[in-house]
Amino acid sequence: MPNTDTASVAREGSYAGAFCNGGGLSACEDRRLGRRLAALPIALMGRGVDVHLLLPGYPGAFTRIEKPRFIAKLDPILGVTDATLVSGTLPDTDLPVWLVDAPSLYRRTGSLYQDDDGRDWPDNALRFAFLSHVAAKLAMGRTKLAWKPDVVHANDWHAGLLPLLLSLEKAPRPSTVFTTHNMAFQGNFPASVLPTIGLPDGLLATDGIEFYGKVSFLKAGLRYADRVTTVSPNYAKEILTSEFGCGLEGLLRAREQTSREFSTASTTHCGILRLIIIFRRTTGQATFQASAPAKVPCSENWVCR
């Protein structure tokens, strides 16, 4: 159990701009988003919070991470047996980063999601499901690291399975936040991937993660997170409409109407995408209060909206 005088948060996703560029965005946008990725955890560190990012071990990450060192061998998950955890810091900062080094999944040529010919990697569902399974084990204290978060923050479809995995836990678990940046990127895969990604068939339902006959990683995050946030108050309103909700506006409207779990301006985080943040507050009682978060000052590089 976490100490009562600390609070920890885990944040999961697929890239941080200081390490690698993602698909679907221009290089300029990638750099801008990368700055945002690091901005919030750095600001939290300035407030005495112990923060970690969890990211895939892409080749670019290993060329840029500072002070890298092996910290743990991971037990086999989803048939992946070659995974380890490597710790380091984000370049030019003291921000701790954990890289999931699984060479069979992440050490490839091409882009983060596609091969050299521009075709999606056929095992993308496994690649990002594995990241969430690792994050869930870290969050539940089931690794060799003597550390457990109080809050897990997952971002975009790449991390969408993490809130779902933690919701299935019977033991006490961290609270979860899921932030969506672009509803058009959904991580939809054939229903046949369910055994591959370690999920039961029963989740393939309209009130689960089924989306037009497919498995939707984005829907999993939106459906099962304790709190859902967006990158701006305006976008939070827009995605409740058919124009911007990309078929998932009904789910979001239902969450908004039935509880305070879907929040707009009061819980908006500055565009932090596709990673896991783990933080621990060094003073005060450990709490999770998405409806009234601590305000984090934004610099011009944050581009908060």
pLDDT of residue 22: 41
What is the arithmetic mean of pLDDT over 229-244? 88
Comparison of pLDDT for 96 and 296, the residue scoring more: 96
Separation between Cα atoms, residue 219 and residue 223, nearest integer Å? 6
Give the best-scoring range by mean pLDDT among 153-157, 184-188, 271-275.
184-188
Mean pLDDT of 203-222: 96
Kindly report the CATH number assigned to the domain that includes residue 212: 3.40.50.2000
φ, ψ for residue 178 (rounded to 5)?
-125, 125
Output the six-digit token pair for 134: 């690792």
Whether 296 maps to a domain, the answer reads no
pLDDT at 289 over 50: no
In the predicted model, is pLDDT for residue 133 greater than 70? yes
For 8-26, letters b (16+ CB in 10 Å) and e give bbbbbbbbbbbbbbbeebe
In the chain, the percentage of residues whose pLDDT exceeds 90 is: 45
Q: What is the domain count for the chain?
A: 1
Contact 80, 198 (CB under 8 A): no
Q: Look-up: residue for tokens 């689960």?
A: 208
- In a domain, residue 275? The reply is yes
Position 222 scores a pLDDT of 95
CA atoms 209, 170, 162, 230: torsion sign: positive
Residue 53, CA atoms < 13 Å, CB-side half-sphere? 36
In a domain, 249, yes or no: yes
Does the pLDDT of residue 155 top 80, yes or no?
Answer: yes
| CA 17 to chain CA centroid, nearest Å | 14
Residue 293 maps to a domain:
no
CA-wise closest residue to 75 among 147, 124, 134: 134
Asked if the structure places residue 4 within a domain, the reply is no
More confident residue, 16 or 150: 150
Q: What are the angstrom distances between the C-alpha of 78 and each of 136, 164, 194?
A: 13, 16, 11
- End-to-end distance of the chain based on CA atoms, in angstroms? 36
Looking at residue 126, its pLDDT comes to 98
Instruction: pLDDT band for 108, please (50, 70, 90 cuts).
Output: very high
Residue-number span of the structural domain to which 16 is assigned: 9-281
In the chain, the largest separation of any two C-alpha atoms, in whole Å, equals 52
Q: Exposed, middle or buried, 268 (CB in 10 Å: 0-12/13-18/19+)?
A: buried
The mean pLDDT value for 241-251 works out to: 94
Mean pLDDT, the chain, rounded, equals: 76
Q: How confident is the model at residue 267 (pLDDT cuts 50, 70, 90)?
A: very low
Calpha distance 181→229 (Å, rounded): 9
- Helix, strand, coil shares, percent, the chain, to 5: 30, 20, 50
Give the model's confidence band at 290: pLDDT under 50 very low, under 70 low, under 90 confident, else very high: very low
How far from 166 is each of 48, 133, 246, 248, 278, CA to CA, in Å? 26, 9, 25, 22, 15
Evaluate whether residue 303 is within a structural domain.
no
> Above 50 in pLDDT, residue 4?
no
Q: How far apart are CA 128 and CA 54, in angstroms?
A: 12
How crowded is residue 112: how many other Cβ atoms within 10 Å of its Cβ? 21
Q: Is residue 185 part of a domain?
A: yes
What pLDDT shows up at residue 31?
Answer: 45
- Name the band, by pLDDT with cuts 50, 70 and 90, for residue 237: confident
The pTM assigned to this predicted structure is: 0.80
* 47-84 per-position pLDDT tens digit: 777 778 888 999 988 888 899 999 999 999 999 999 99
In a domain, 53, yes or no: yes
Residues in the chain: 305
